[in-house]
Homo-oligomer: A and B are copies of this chain.
């Protein structure tokens, strides 16, 4: 398979696939004309990466997970640790965002949103809390 077809199959942009090769996440073969030729294992890896990235794992995490995936003698504890850490990060980010959202939605509600200049949003931002 050429990169275009792989892109369609995996849902990953060709740019992204090339990038993944660049950083040594995958190593497709090359045809005589220089085109990348993707084997089933490459496509499998790309699907793995797509899933992992969709769950918000960093590229570094993906590298670790991929290595564990291919290591038959791994301990599931190692996988779980990576996932649990990432879960904690996600939770932290969610709670950050919720804090912002709560403050911001109060401010938005309090703002008339008309032609007048008076605005609680700006008033809040302008006050050193």
Contacts and interface: CB of A to CB of B under 8 A. Distances in A.
Interface residues of A, number: 55
Give the dominant DSSP class at A's interface.
helix
A62 B42 CA distance: 44
A52 to B, nearest CB: 5
A30 interface: no
B76 A114 contact: yes
A55 to B, nearest CB: 5
Interface stretch (A19-27, A31-39, A79-87): A79-87
B119 A105 contact: no
B80 A125 contact: no
Contact of A116 (B75, B83, B128): B75
